[in-house]
Chains A and B, each alone.
Chain A
Amino acid sequence: MRPWALAILFALCLAPPCAQAQEEARAAEVRIKAAFLYKFCDYVEWPPAAFARPDSPFVIGVLAADAIADELARVVEHRTIHGRGVSVRKLKRGAPLAGLQMLFVGGADGTRLAELIAAVKGQPTLVVTESEGVHAAGSMINFILVDDKVRFDIAPQPAESGNLRISARLLAVARKVLAGPS
């Protein structure tokens, strides 16, 4: 290419920068997390007792994360989890947490989180969070952003106490597998 062509090439680059990157990144994060929530279910086994009837739907409760709930509802629209239809519920604070196979709690609300997790302790409910330092409080999978990528840590011990079996494939992909108090 000729020098003048190179000059034109550079001249083409004089336009105002756009500033939506942050918002777009947040939207992408929501999409990726919703996809992960759905994918996790393939790699976790629930005991039969987790479901009221053989044809009961798979129920995912989402608290304090409406955007993720909407995206997840879209993802599962024509999909099944372990052969069951899927229902995504946006939960309000104080809503009953019984009968959920998965609970996703958005945001980092330390003390409330501990209460919520205590409420489903020992039940076959996979608890997924997106906060720093919540595994101590009994979360089973926790999202974190590493280098702009959505990664997650797993604490198998609280899951086992709820009779959930997390596959090694999922553990292998986790950023960290946390040893629980035994």
Chain B
Amino acid sequence: MTASLGVTARRAAAAALLSLAAGIAAAQSRSAGDLADLSLEELGNIEVTSVSGHAESLSTAAASVFVITADDIRRSGATSLPEALRLAPNLQVARADSGQYAISARGFNSTIANKLLVLIDGRTVYTPLFSGVFWDMQDVMLEDVERIEVISGPGGTIWGTNAVNGVINVITRPAGATQGDLASAGGGDRELRAAMRHGGALGSDGHFRIYGKADRLQNTMRANGSAVADGWDRTQAGFRADWGGAGSAFTLQGDAYSAKSEQRGVVLGTDVGRVEVSGMNLLARWTRRFASGSDLRVQAYYDHTDREDFAAFRPKVDIFDLEIQHAVPLGRHKLLWGGGYRHAHDEVLDGLVAGFVPPSKDLDWVNVFAQDEIELNRRLSLTLSVKLERNDYTGTESLPSARLAWTVSSSSLLWGAASRAVRAPARLDREIFIFPPSSAIRIVNGGPDFVSEVANVYEVGYRAQPARGFTYSLAVFHYDWDRLRSGQPPPAVIQNMIEGKVYGMEAWAAWQAAPSWRLSGGLTTLRKDLHLKPGSTDPTGPSALGNDPEYLWTLRSSHNLAPRQELDILLRRVGELPVPAVPAYIAVDARYAWQARRDVELSLTLQNLFDPAHPEFGAAATRSEIARSAFFKVRWTP
């Protein structure tokens, strides 16, 4: 598509849903015999039934899965969800400015990236306007996060269209695991943050927690020393209540937030004011285990978001989502089936340069899916699955996949998968229009004939624990893409005229070098061979589909200096981005923490230690530099 869409639209989206499958339950890819290498939190989070091999754990999942544990997050010093996502070697995380991020897996990264599905406790957080995430609207109390599962590769058969390149599942702890009080406060040269949580009992078998947090982000600077008006003030509060236990459990949770950027002043002759966002959501989930061993899960939520950004556009979106999943163990088969319904109503006011026709729309999605995991023999298991999802733009899309897992030995697993992945059209693809300020001429128009982007995806992976305390994982992937989004010279109509291949590798390893010292690292590589189809007049070509490094690697050292002192160092090397060019960079982050008293932890996190500032995304003239920063934090758990 023409570059202008990427620049001005900022963000917009489509559909999909469905959270945690029974297949993905707990535990990192370590064999059960080495549970002692897990952290306390990880151990406490393993379901007794999942290590047993009855329910499946991630260690046997035939997919590229990385789990960020609560301990990883705490020790990284990350203060926001996107920063915590840097811990996953199978994600590309680029900070565009103080609050905006470009996050993707397996390519196509941009601030309106649209091929990665993100869920917070089962709630899909992307907007149907562009199938992507407004990262400046997503926040969680990081102390209450149990784990973040990052699945790279298509997850469509469980999670639906748009889980094309991956799924991020942010899972918070049950209320029973966050009892008592917690207060944390931190400050540094780039941000100020404070958060409080209180948890207590509700009757004989229930627990609750409530939390509140407030953050202030300092604005960033450009390379030429001028200030970017991207400082933010943000407040959020929420609660979670859980009743019951393994037999029958009920969860009710919700969040409300409000945030605003600083005044941005005059852009293209118009005062664009602040970005102001607010929202609230309420989710109920009921799980029931029947005597037959089957598990039923019913979830419904409502999500309201309001975004006022005159420089782009001003959407209000209400979403209602219902899903049902039933997992049935039947001898050598594990059957999972279910369905879902999603409704979105939006009203979008035009911004300075972009709007939608029609300005208001109701969209519905309906899906059914079934998955059967078949134990062919003791070592070989085959998972066949299919989802049928109906959307208002293209009708019914089918998302089949086949996965084979071969347990080579008790400590190694070889897996392979073939899937069809689909990104269904979002409002942006069909109905956006972009115009020069105060002009009636539309330079970009949504494509009335825009259809789904489709990929056939092949993956092979291997995970092993060759020695005690040493694990690694390797995956290679190949996407055959067709009907990717393309543009035209102005006045452009959005089309599906790009095709090609994307392939690469994801690898990571962890080594417990000593009882108090853990080393880990990851490497991803990516090649894109995309081109315009004959007949396309797109002047920009595939470069408008995302800006990706050819490689990215990380190294991490987690060291317990003494029983109450921790030192963590994270080194990250990101290859250069081609268009617009962003130089390769190395960033080194370090965190030192001291458990000063039983109830008090003090920590100091330094980011970007050896570099005063570097850009991570965007065109040179306008982009932010991400500066060196220091953050001091006190955490109190009476």
Contacts and interface: CB of A to CB of B under 8 A. Distances in A.
A28 B333 contact: no
Interface of A: 1, 5-6, 9-10, 12-18, 20-21, 24-25, 27-29, 31-32, 34-36, 38-39, 42-43, 45, 74-75, 78-80, 145-152, 156, 166-173, 175-177
Contact of A148 (B48, B180, B328, B333): B48
B398 A1 contact: yes
A1 B48 contact: no
A146 B47 CA distance: 9
B590 to A, nearest CB: 20
A1 B515 contact: no
Nearest to A21: B54
Contact of A79 (B36, B293, B370, B597): B36
Nearest to B635: A172
A150 B49 contact: no
Contacts of B174: 147
Nearest to A11: B372
27 contacts: A1-B398, A5-B400, A10-B335, A12-B333, A13-B330, A13-B335, A18-B329, A21-B329, A24-B52, A28-B50, A35-B36, A36-B40, A36-B43, A42-B563, A45-B563, A146-B176, A149-B45, A149-B47, A150-B44, A151-B44, A167-B563, A167-B564, A170-B40, A171-B637, A172-B637, A175-B177, A175-B179
B52 A21 contact: yes
Contacts of A45: 563
Top 9 A-B residue pairs of the complex, sorted by shortest distance between their CB atoms: A15-B331, A24-B52, A35-B35, A1-B386, A28-B51, A168-B598, A1-B400, A173-B40, A28-B52
Between B46, B48, B293, B331, the greatest number of chain A beta carbons within 10 A of the residue's beta carbon is seen for B48
B361 interface: no
Interface string B323-356: 0000011111101000000000000000000000
Contacts of A177: 180
A147 B249 contact: yes
Contacts of A171: 598-599, 637
Contacts of A166: 598
A28 B563 CA distance: 29
B419 to A, nearest CB: 12
B44 A167 contact: no
A135 B398 CA distance: 56
B271 interface: no
A45 B562 CA distance: 11
B292 interface: yes
Interface residues of B, number: 54
B374 interface: yes
Between B33, B36, B563, the greatest number of chain A beta carbons within 10 A of the residue's beta carbon is seen for B36
A146 B245 contact: yes
Given A79-B36, A166-B598, 9 more contacts: A9-B372, A12-B384, A21-B49, A21-B52, A28-B46, A45-B563, A79-B515, A149-B46, A173-B44
Contacts of B45: 149
Between A1, A42, A79, A167, the greatest number of chain B beta carbons within 10 A of the residue's beta carbon is seen for A1
Interface string B132-169: 00000000000000000000000000000000000000
B47 A18 contact: no
B194 interface: no
B179 A39 contact: no
B515 A80 contact: yes
B629 interface: no
Contacts of B597: 168
A170 B332 CA distance: 40
A14 B468 CA distance: 40
B621 interface: no
Contacts of A151: 44, 177
Contacts of B584: none
B440 interface: no
Contact of B40 (A14, A20, A27, A43): A43
Between A36, A78, A172, A177, the greatest number of chain B beta carbons within 10 A of the residue's beta carbon is seen for A172
A35 B330 CA distance: 31
Nearest to A166: B598
A36 to B, nearest CB: 6
Contacts of A169: 40, 595
A169 B335 CA distance: 40
Nearest to B249: A147
A150 B54 CA distance: 17
B638 to A, nearest CB: 10
Interface string B382-421: 0010100000000000101000000000000000000000
B328 A13 contact: yes
Given A24-B53, A38-B36, A167-B564, A18 B331 contact: yes
Nearest to B596: A168
B601 interface: yes
B613 interface: no
